[in-house]
A and B are shown apart, each in its own frame.
Chain A
Amino acid sequence: KNQVEQSPQSLIILEGKNCTLQCNYTVSPFSNLRWYKQDTGRGPVSLTIMTFSENTKSNGRYTATLDADTKQSSLHITASQLSDSASYICVVSHLTGGGNKLTFGTGTQLKVEL
């Protein structure tokens, strides 16, 4: 069964600190891995997309890594800001006869405090 597991479930950090969110998946055959940021009451917003051949991708203070061999990904947030408070969702895309299908993780709820 295709699954995406994220850890931790929730995290509280002080403003200015760094943090790393984890994502493990069992999706096969793998197509790409995406990280989304979802603010409360809003739709998810794409941060990064990585294919099999990419092992790191950055978007400002967000850096995602991918180890396709161990089926793990991480999202590193540098110098956190209050506006980083959100749910971060790992999404893995796999190939099917009908095209790419996405499996969503349940998200890591990040709170950044003063």
Chain B
Amino acid sequence: NAGVTQTPKFQVLKTGQSMTLQCAQDMNHEYMSWYRQDPGMGLRLIHYSVGAGITDQGEVPNGYNVSRSTTEDFPLRLLSAAPSQTSVYFCASSYSSTNYGYTFGSGTRLTVV
């Protein structure tokens, strides 16, 4: 049981480049979400999904796109990377968004130069 798997672990991008951060879970969780973690700030929600085919925006969605074609996968796309998107990104999944603990991936550290 791998839990939540994120790839890559580290990435350096040039301003204006695009890329996709991968997230996969093998727990049959309906709820999946993407967060970013910046120094001195709590984790902030970027996008989330309550099931395959359903996505919605979180607190800081600008510059990011998501899709959910399967229950297992929830990729995060950076359309045109900016230095302000330098951060650590975490994918999380859960049975639902209510009273269940979230399982987090180990994170992707992204640097945009």
Contact = CB atoms under 8 A, between A and B. Distances in A.
Interface of A: 4, 31-32, 34, 41-46, 49, 51, 89, 93, 98-107
A105 B45 CA distance: 13
Nearest to B98: A100
Interface of B: 4, 40-45, 50, 56, 90, 92, 96-107
Contact of B50 (A51, A89, A99, A107): A99
B107 A42 contact: yes
A54 to B, nearest CB: 10
A99 B96 CA distance: 9
A4 B42 CA distance: 9
B51 to A, nearest CB: 11
3 cross-chain pairs, A with B, having the tightest CB-CB distances, nearest first? A43-B104, A104-B42, A46-B101
Contact of A89 (B42, B96, B99, B103): B42
Nearest to B99: A32
Given A99-B50, A104-B43, A45 B104 contact: yes
* Residue of B4, B96, B102 with most partner-chain A CB within 10 A: B102
A58 to B, nearest CB: 15
A41 B42 contact: no
